[in-house]
């Protein structure tokens, strides 16, 4: 439920068939059928070009999808099911950080019409809607949402856009739950029990999602602060932990594969990321979508039942889509 695909298509906008040549083989090898394609605007484009870059990302996703037989941009559960039945990979467009909206609620309607169906108010940085959780055990802003942030949340619920709680600071997390009624999702995150930063979620927050029938997607790049603990088994420990707290119905996949972007960066940019947030530790046998079957195999080896594996890999997200889209 989280993949920085539109951003990469935008950076490679001079090229054609990027989706077909670079991504399709990995999706196919991993037998991936639904992908949350996240609009995200990097700092260097803000504030002036946030809207333009976001629209261009959407444009590239549509153009690349149209150029291939293998993909479909889906706006509701019915379309997702139709894509799966015809062997196509379904993209659900999501937005990570509402910077493209500026402070104009009308833009939310525009992005809804373009197909955006899940929105996380913030990335790590503060914006017009609220504050991101810091990459440290404490120190996030004490305030919750701004008045604009509350408007965005209400409008999302009214339109039928899923509210994604990934990245939001603890105060914002609680506030969103207090003003919404539908099941919440956290598209890509990890348990603070294993990686204690406010960007991740605490046991109490996990329980809050569970009580509301929501789903938490487990992230592959913040599994542990220590490189040697960033393993497939430890990824499964996060799944296990969440399912012990709220049951198997509350946990799904939110890989957030990022290695393909990180490798394109200069060393200075990688250092900048480490200084600002953290050094991501990529799991060597869970680095891109072609590795998805490694997870399935290890879940079987760890004794998860077929019924539970089905829920983790797709059933829980499909239930959310059926209920909310
Ligand atoms: Zn993220």
Q: How far is the CA of 224 from the centre of ligand 1 (A)?
A: 16
Q: Measuring CA to CA, which residue among 288, 296, 289 is closest to residue 313?
A: 296
- Partners of 217 in the β-ladder: 252
- For 119, list phi and psi in degrees, rounded to 5: -135, 130
Q: How far is the CA of 303 from the centre of ligand 1 (A)?
A: 30
For residue 279, the model assigns a pLDDT of 87
Angle at 31 between CA 14 and CA 37, to 5 degrees: 45
Cα 111 to Cα 106: distance, rounded to the nearest angstrom: 9
Pairing of strands 215-218, 34-39: unpaired
Q: How far is the CA of 25 from the centre of ligand 1 (A)?
A: 24
Three-state DSSP state, 132: strand
Q: How far is the CA of 158 from the centre of ligand 1 (A)?
A: 24
Q: How far is the CA of 77 from the centre of ligand 1 (A)?
A: 24
Q: How far is the CA of 86 from the centre of ligand 1 (A)?
A: 30
Cis-peptide into 68, omega within 30 deg: no
Q: What is the pLDDT along the chain (325 residues), one digit of tens a residue?
A: 999 999 999 999 999 999 999 999 999 999 999 999 999 999 999 999 999 999 999 999 999 999 999 999 999 999 999 999 999 999 999 999 999 999 999 999 999 999 999 999 999 999 999 999 999 999 999 999 999 999 999 999 999 999 999 999 999 999 999 999 999 999 999 999 999 999 999 999 999 999 999 999 999 999 999 999 999 999 999 999 999 999 999 999 999 999 899 989 999 999 999 888 888 899 999 999 999 999 999 999 999 999 999 999 999 999 999 999 9
For residue 132, the model assigns a pLDDT of 98
């Amino acid at each position: 439920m989280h993949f920085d695909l539109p951003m990469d298509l935008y950076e490679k906008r001079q090229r054609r068939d990027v989706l077909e040549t670079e991504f399709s083989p990995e999706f196919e090898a991993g037998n991936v059928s639904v992908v949350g394609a996240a609009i995200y605007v990097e700092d260097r484009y803000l504030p002036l070009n946030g809207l333009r870059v976001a629209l261009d990302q959407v444009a590239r996703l549509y153009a690349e999808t149209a150029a291939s037989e293998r993909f479909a941009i889906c706006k509701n559960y019915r379309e997702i099911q139709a894509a799966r039945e015809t062997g196509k990979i379904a993209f659900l467009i999501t937005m990570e950080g509402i910077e493209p909206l500026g402070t104009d609620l009308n833009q939310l309607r525009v992005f809804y019409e373009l197909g955006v169906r899940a929105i996380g108010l913030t990335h790590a940085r503060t914006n017009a809607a609220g504050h991101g959780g810091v990459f440290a055990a404490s120190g996030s802003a004490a305030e919750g949402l701004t008045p604009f942030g509350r408007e965005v949340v209400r409008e999302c619920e009214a339109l039928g856009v899923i509210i994604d709680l990934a990245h939001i600071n603890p105060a914002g997390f609680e506030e969103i739950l207090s003003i919404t009624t539908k099941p919440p999702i956290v598209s890509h995150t990890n348990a603070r029990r294993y990686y204690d930063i406010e960007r991740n979620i605490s046991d109490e927050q996990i329980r809050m999602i569970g009580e509301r029938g929501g789903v938490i997607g487990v992230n592959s790049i913040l599994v542990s602060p220590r490189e040697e603990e960033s393993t497939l088994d430890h990824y499964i420990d996060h799944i296990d932990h969440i399912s012990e707290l709220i049951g198997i119905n509350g946990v799904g996949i939110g890989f957030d594969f990022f290695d393909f972007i990180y490798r394109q960066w200069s060393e200075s940019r990688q250092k900048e990321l480490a200084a600002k947030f953290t050094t991501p530790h990529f799991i060597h046998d869970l680095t891109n979508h072609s590795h998805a079957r490694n997870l399935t195999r290890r879940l079987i080896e760890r004794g998860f039942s077929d019924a539970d594996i089905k829920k983790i890999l797709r059933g829980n997200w499909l239930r959310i889509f059926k209920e909310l889209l």
